[in-house]
Structure 1
Amino acid sequence: MRNREFWDLVDEVFGRGYGRTLADDQMLTALGDRTAAQAIEAGVEPRVVWHALCDAMDVPDERRWGHDKFRQAPPPR
């Protein structure tokens, strides 16, 4: 996943306004108590950040990839 794809998914799944606020403000323990935006800026793999954000917000697997179900399969758990 590229950074652009991460931000596209944030906008699609959470809505542009709320998603950007969430990425800037929601502290994620899975990312070392950083926000998604801080983690992306620090070079954390966008896919890792995406899953941490979705896990924290209880986004079900079927909604994690937006409308394009074939965009990328979720990793095995």
Structure 2
Amino acid sequence: MRLSDFWDRMRRHFGEAYAESWARDYVIAELGGRTVTQALADGVAAKTVWRAVCKVTDVDAKLR
């Protein structure tokens, strides 16, 4: 998954204004206790991060 696709899905799920805030603030255990932003900065693949987001939120099946 390209990073641009990841952020497009984040914005579609959380909304334009909330996606980046959620990514900075919400800690996900499956990402080693990191936020989305931290995990991506540490080199975790966007697809892996997206799967973790899907597990902790109710992402529409179309976006999974």
Name the TM-score, length of structure 1 as normaliser: 0.75
Q: In the TM superposition, what whole-angstrom CA distance separates every residue of 1:4-53 from its partner, at most 9, and x where no partner exists?
A: 11111111111011111111100000000000111111110101101101
Q: Which residue number corresponds to residue 13 of structure 2?
A: 13
CA displacement at 1:59 relative to structure 2? 2.3
**Any runs of at least 4 consecutive aligned residues in structure 1 with deviations exceeding 4 A, and if so which?**
none
Q: Which residue number corresponds to residue 46 of structure 1?
A: 46
Quick check: which has more Rg, 1 or 2?
1
Q: Equivalent residues in 2 for 1:57-68 (5 A)?
A: 57-60=57-60, 62-63=61-62, 65=63
Name the TM-score, length of structure 2 as normaliser: 0.88
Question: RMSD between aligned alpha carbons?
Answer: 1.3
Report the count of equivalent residues: 64
Query: SS where residue 16 of structure 1 aligns?
Result: coil
Q: Which residue number corresponds to residue 26 of structure 2?
A: 26
Deviates more, 1:25-34 or 1:47-56: 47-56
- Between 1 and 2, higher relative CO (CA 8 Å, sep ≥ 6) is seen in 2
